[in-house]
Structure 1
Amino acid sequence: MNTLNKINSMNYQDIKEQAYKANMELPELGLVLFTFGNASAADHEQGVFAIKPSGVPYKDLTVDNMVIVDFDGNTVEGNLRPSSDTLTHAVLYKNWAEVSGIVHTHSTYGTAWAQALRPIPLYGTTHADHTTANIPCAPPMSDDKIAGNYEYETGFQIIEHLKDLNLSYQDMEMILVGNHAPFTWGKTVEKAVYHSAVLEELAKMALLTEQVQPGVMPMKDALINKHYQRKHGKNAYYGQ
C-alpha cells in the first residue's frame, strides 16, 4: 500500500468502525436475520460512506471488510462488493446533507406493515414521543423503474414520498418502502440504529392495538403535540 492509500485508509477508519458497530447491533436488537439488512456511516467532508459488504453473515464481519463507497455508488476502498442496497444509501447521502447514518432492515413487524402497503398509524404516546405523523409507507415504484436501476430509484422513491407528504427528512427519520421493508436514518449511524429499533416497536404496538380494538381511532392532536413538544419542543422538559 503506497503512502497516499495509507493516508486515505486512516481517514476512513472512523466511519468503518462506526458502520461495523452499527451492523453488529442489528442482530443483537433482533432487527435482522442472517444477512437481511445493512447499516452505513458517512463522512460528508470526504464524500464517502462505509457500508456492510454484500451477503456476508454478521458473525463474519470485521471493521476491515467494511466497504468505502462514494456518493455516486463507486467503491473507493475494499476488496468485497458493497451491499446490494448501496445505491439507495448513496442517493440519500447525496441529497440529505444532515444525514450521516442509514439503516435498512427486514424487521418482522415493520416489514409486515410495508408488505401491507400501510403507514404505521399513530395510536399512542410512545409513537408521539418520536414523531407527530404516521410512519409513511412509500408506494411501490413503476415497472419501468423496477426494470431499470432499481436500488438507485429506491432512494428517490423515499425522497419523493416524503416530499409528497410535506415531511422533511429531519423531522421524519424513518419510512417503509412498500412491499419491501423499513429504512431509517439520522445525524449519526447510532441514531439510525435507534430509529430502526423504535420503528419496529411502534409497528408491533400498532398491530397489537388493532387486534385488541379493531377500528381504533388515531390519538387526538392535543395529546400528540403534548408528548412530542415535551421531548423535542423549545420548552422541552424530558430528560436531564
Structure 2
Amino acid sequence: MKSAYQSLKEACYEANMQLPQLGLVLFTFGNASIADRSAGVFAIKPSGVPYASLRAEDIVILDFEAQVVEGTKRASSDTKTHAVLYKHWEHIGGIVHTHSTYATAWAQTQLDIPILGTTHADHLTVDIPCAPPMEDAMIQGNYEYETGFQIMNDFARRGYSYEEVEMILVGNHAPFTWGKTVEKAVYNSAVLEEVARMAYLSVTIRPDVPRLKDALIQKHYERKHGSTSYYGQP
C-alpha cells in the first residue's frame, strides 16, 4: 500500500542524495529533513544508513515532538534537533546537517566565520555564527533536543533572525542550515562550506586579513536581496 507521505519521502530522499553529490557528506555523516506544515510532520533520513543504499521508503516521518508517525527504521540521531527548530521557527521548511570539512573545521575552532569577501556578502551581512560548545548539563541530558536550543539561544543572544541568517556552526560539532524549502537548506549548506573554505584559505595566506568594507557588504547583499535588487532574471 502506498504511503500517504510518499511524495514527502521522495522529496526528502532527493534532498539527502544531493549531499554526497555536492561533496558535503561522507558515509553517513549528515542528514536532510523536510517539513509538511499542513500535515504537522517532517521527513528525515534514517540513522546510520549509508547514502549508497538509501531508499525513499527508508525515510522516517515524525511530528514536531519527534514522535514517529510512519517508518520502520530508527530516525536520524539528530532528529530531536530538527524537531525543536521546526516547532519554534515556524517559517522553515527544510533543515540540513553535515560534517562538511571546512565548516566543521571552523566549528572546531569555536570561531565565527568572518565576512571577508563579496561571496559571503552575497548571502549574509554578518559573520557566520558559531554557537559556543554546549554546557555539560545539556550534553549529559537530552543532548540532541538541547542542541536545538543551543542554536536558538545563540540567535537570541546575537539578535539574529533565523529568516535572514539561515546557517550556524555549533562549537566543536558541525554546521546546520535551513530555509523555507529543503532545496534552499541544501543550497545554504553548499554555500556555507564554500565560504568556510575561502575564509580558511584567506586567513592562511594572510593571518591579518581585513574584514570586508561595509559599503561592499551592503552593495552585494542589497543587489541580490534588497528591494531594488537587480541580480538574476525578473
> For the superposition of Structure 1 and Structure 2, which TM-score range results when normalised by the shorter chain?
over 0.9
AA matched with 1:24: M
After TM superposition, the structure 1 = structure 2 runs for residues 69-80 of structure 1, keeping only pairs within 5 Å, are 69-80=62-73
Deviation by residue 1:183-232 (Cα, 9 ceiling, x = unmatched)? 00001101000000000000000000011111111001111000000000
After TM superposition, the structure 1 = structure 2 runs for residues 8-157 of structure 1, keeping only pairs within 5 Å, are 9-10=3-4, 12-157=5-150
Identical pairs, percent: 67
Structure 1 residue 14 displacement after superposition? 2.1
What secondary structure does 1:184 align onto? strand
Matching residue of 1:163:
156
What secondary structure does 2:31 align onto? strand
What secondary structure does 1:64 align onto? helix
Deviation by residue 1:137-166 (Cα, 9 ceiling, x = unmatched)? 000111111100000000010011011111
RMSD: 0.8
What secondary structure does 1:185 align onto? strand
Structure 2 distance, partners of 1:172, 1:15, is 25
Which of the residues 202, 205, 216 maps onto 2:209? Answer: 216
AA matched with 1:237: Y
Output the TM-score relative to the length of structure 1. 0.96
Matching residue of 1:181:
174
* Shift >6 Å, 4+ stretches: none
What secondary structure does 1:41 align onto? strand
AA matched with 1:17: E
Structure 1 distance, partners of 2:93, 2:8, is 10
What secondary structure does 1:219 align onto? coil
What secondary structure does 2:58 align onto? coil
Output the TM-score relative to the length of structure 2. 0.98
Structure 2, gaps ≥5 residues long? none
Aligned residue-pair number: 233
